Every structure is written in structure tokens, then in C-alpha cells.
């Protein structure tokens, strides 16, 4: 499926808030009723700070949360890293941000007994709305979409250390069973346990769920997504990944965002912004 920006709109809108929610991690809210009414889990927005020209080009930020009750707000969560995110981090409520979207294909709702979401670091952002939709607590999109399609949602969430874990309360409130893995063993309650990779946490969840029909969704650093894709393939479990290839235009024009899609023997470049960012993991040629 190709998702050109035919439902996207472009706005410049004041920030409602821009709060620190974890180490180097902020959640920003803006009012965008038209976007909030049509966005679906896994889609993204191209965001700029209109107060400056560096960077000139926007950055893709995934939908984190949106009101579907008519109040029309959208939340994005970002890691303060380079040019755009450092400049966004300085903004106070009332400052304008430029936003285009929603963009990309998003996740397809698929009935499953157990949805397992696997995130590395800031790769967690596409999963709060997906969990809400899968558990049936919120519906998204203008066109009717399935909701309540999973009876159980697990969230394997890996980070460098516990201070980077963001939005745990929100994921818990959405009904997710949390499985935290940190590189240094730190835990959200301040204690220390064994350092663990998020893939180890995924294997534990899968071992405990062998009798269940499972589906995996994954987002994070590429080596981690490749490892998750391998686990899914070995266990013959369907897995969708949301790629985070750098993007310049976000609407299919520039080909900066391509990924190799197909088989080792027969692949083609596909644009992550319009043919993705969500792809079946079996269709990705990782190297």
C-alpha cells in the first residue's frame, strides 16, 4: 500500500505544553482537531520549529497520543538528540510549531490473542495508541477501523537505563503488561537487577506464551529490530516493524528514506515515508 500525503494537513500551532517526562525526553502537546480526528497508530508527523532555519527540514515524529473526544489535541514524545529536538526542547507553551501530517501507513489492526510490542529507547512512541486500540479503549481514524482486537497486550521496553523510560504509567493504564529491560540493570523503582536486553525479555514473554496466538510489533534501533525479526521468524510469529530511517520530505518525493524490501535475491528500494514506516519484518532486507 502506498500512503501519499492525501489526508495530511499542514498547520502552525502553539504548543499547549512541552514537559520533561524522562531523561532527555519530552512530551509536547498541540491542538490539531483535524489531524487528531484522522490519525491512526503508527503514523507520524513532520515537525519544524518555524522560529528558525536550522534545521530547515522537518523531522519525523511518531504519533504518541491523540484525543478522539473532540478536544483535538495530539501528543508527540521526543528524545533530545540533535538539531531539531534540541531546539524544540527550548520552546515554552504558546510557542508555534509547524506540523504536517498524519503521514505513513500506520499499523494494520489484526486480530490476535496476544499482541507483543517491543521497543528500544524512543522507539516506544508508536505503541501507546496501538495498545489502546488493540485493547479497545480508544478508536482511531476517520474510517471505521477494528478495535479491541487483542485479548492481551505485553510491552517489552528496553532502555539504556531506567531514567530514560518514559510514559510507564500511561502504558500501564492502557492495559499493557510491562516487561522492562535496561542495559545497566536499573529499575524504575530505583532498585538494580540483572542487566537485560529487550530481546531477552521478548524471549521470556514468548516462552511463557507458547500456547497463545501471538503477533509482534517492533520499533527501535535497527540492530535490535533485526534481532527481533529473527526471533519472530524462528518461531514463525508474524512481526511488523516500524522503521525510523531519516526522512527529508516525508511525502514520497526525495527518496532519502528508502529501505530494501523484498527477498535477498529480489529486493527493491521502498520509501519508508509512503510505503511504510510499518513493514512486515519478513520483507525487510536488513543489509
Ligand X SMILES: Cc1cc2nc3c(=O)[nH]c(=O)nc-3n(C[C@H](O)[C@H](O)[C@H](O)COP(=O)(O)OP(=O)(O)OC[C@H]3O[C@@H](n4cnc5c(N)ncnc54)[C@H](O)[C@@H]3O)c2cc1C
Question: Which stretches of the chain bind ligand FES, using CB under 6 A?
Answer: 247-250, 252-257, 271, 273
Q: Is the CB of 58 or the CB of 220 nearer to ligand FES?
A: 58
State which residue, 60 or 239, has the beta carbon closest to ligand FES. 60
237 binds, among ligand X, ligand FES, none (CB under 5 to 8 A by kind): none
* CB of 62 or CB of 239, closer to ligand X: 62
Q: State which residue, 160 or 260, has the beta carbon closest to ligand FES.
A: 260
Task: Report what 256 binds from ligand FES, ligand X, none; CB cut-off 5-8 Å by kind.
Answer: ligand FES
Radius of gyration of the chain (CA): 18
Q: Which does 68 bind (CB under 5 to 8 A by kind): ligand FES, ligand X, none?
A: none
Per partner kind, with CB cut-offs from 5 to 8 A, the member of ligand X, ligand FES, none near residue 254 is ligand FES
Sheet strands (E) in the chain: 9-22, 25-31, 44-48, 59-62, 65-66, 73-79, 96-103, 112-120, 150-159, 176-182, 214-219, 238-242, 258-262, 267-271, 278-280
Across the beta sheet with 73-79, what order do the strands follow? 59-62, 44-48, 96-103, 9-22, 25-31, 73-79, 65-66
CA distance linking residue 276 with residue 280, whole number of Å = 10
- Measured CA to CA, the distance from residue 146 to residue 125 in angstroms comes to 21
Residue 245 binding result from ligand FES, ligand X, none, given CB thresholds of 5 to 8 Å by partner type = ligand X
| Nearest residue (CB) to ligand X, 205 versus 277 | 277
SS3 string, 53-80, reads CCCCCCEEEECCEECCCCCCEEEEEEEC
First to last CA, the chain: 23
- Cα distances from 9 to residues 5, 34, 103, 143, in angstroms, run 8, 8, 9, 17
Name the residue nearer to ligand X (CB basis): 47 or 214: 47
Residue 279 CB burial class (10 angstroms; 0-12, 13-18, ≥19):
buried
- Residue 245 CB, nearest approach to ligand FES (Å): 8
Phi and psi (nearest 5°) for 254?
-105, -15
Among ligand FES, ligand X, none, residue 84 binds (CB under 5-8 Å by kind): ligand X
Q: Which residues would be at the binding site for ligand X (CB under 6 A)? A: 44, 55, 59-62, 77-79, 81-85, 122, 125, 244-247, 277
Report the nearest approach of ligand FES to the CB of residue 58 (Å). Answer: 10
Contacted by 78, from ligand X, ligand FES, none: CB < 5 to 8 Å by type: ligand X
Which residue's C-alpha cell is 503477533?
215
Q: From the CB of 103, what's the least distance to ligand X, in Å?
A: 8
Least distance between ligand FES and beta carbon 242 (Å): 14
CB-nearer residue toward ligand X: 229 or 241: 241
Compute CA 228 distance to the chain's CA centroid, rounded to the nearest angstrom. 15
Q: Kindly state the smallest distance separating residue 10's Cβ from ligand X, in Å.
A: 17
Give the shortest CB-276-to-ligand FES separation in angstroms: 9
Amino acid at each position: 500500500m502506498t500512503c501519499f500525503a492525501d489526508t495530511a494537513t499542514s498547520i502552525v500551532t502553539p504548543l499547549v505544553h512541552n514537559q520533561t517526562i524522562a531523561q532527555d525526553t519530552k512530551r509536547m502537546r498541540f491542538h490539531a482537531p483535524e489531524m487528531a480526528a484522522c490519525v491512526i497508530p503508527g503514523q507520524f508527523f513532520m515537525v519544524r520549529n518555524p522560529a528558525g532555519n536550522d534545521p530547515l527540514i522537518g523531522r519525523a515524529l511518531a504519533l504518541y497520543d491523540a484525543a478522539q473526544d473532540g478536544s483535538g489535541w495530539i501528543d508527540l514524545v521526543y528524545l533530545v538528540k540533535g538539531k531539531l529536538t534540541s531546539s524544540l526542547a527550548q520552546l515554552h507553551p504558546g510557542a508555534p510549531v509547524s506540523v504536517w501530517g498524519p503521514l505513513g501507513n500506520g499499523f494494520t489492526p489484526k486480530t490476535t490473542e496476544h499482541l507483543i510490542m517491543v521497543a528500544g529507547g524512543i522507539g516506544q512512541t508508536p505503541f501507546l495508541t496501538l495498545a489502546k486500540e488493540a485493547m479497545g479503549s480508544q478508536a482511531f481514524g476517520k474510517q471505521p477501523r477494528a478495535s479491541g482486537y487483542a485479548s492481551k497486550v505485553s510491552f517489552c521496553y528496553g532502555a539504556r537505563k531506567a531514567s530514560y523510560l518514559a510514559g510507564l504509567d500511561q502504558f500501564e493504564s492502557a492495559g499493557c503488561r510491562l516487561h522492562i529491560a535496561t542495559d545497566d540493570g536499573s529499575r524504575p523503582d530505583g532498585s538494580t537487577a540483572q542487566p537485560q536486553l529487550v530481546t531477552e525479555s521478548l524471549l521470556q514473554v514468548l516462552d511463557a506464551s507458547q500456547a497463545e496466538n501471538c503477533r509482534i510489533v517492533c520499533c527501535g534501533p535497527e540492530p535490535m529490530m533485526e534481532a527481533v525479526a529473527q526471533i519472530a521468524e524462528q518461531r514463525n510469529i508474524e512481526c511488523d516493524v516500524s522503521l525510523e530511517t531519516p526522512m527529508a520530505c516525508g511525502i514520497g518525493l526525495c527518496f532519502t528514506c528508502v529501505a530494501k524490501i523484498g527477498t535477498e535475491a529480489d529486493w527493491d528500494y521502498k520509501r519508508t515515508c509512503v510505503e511504510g514506516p510499518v513493514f512486515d519484518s519478513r520483507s525487510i532486507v536488513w543489509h
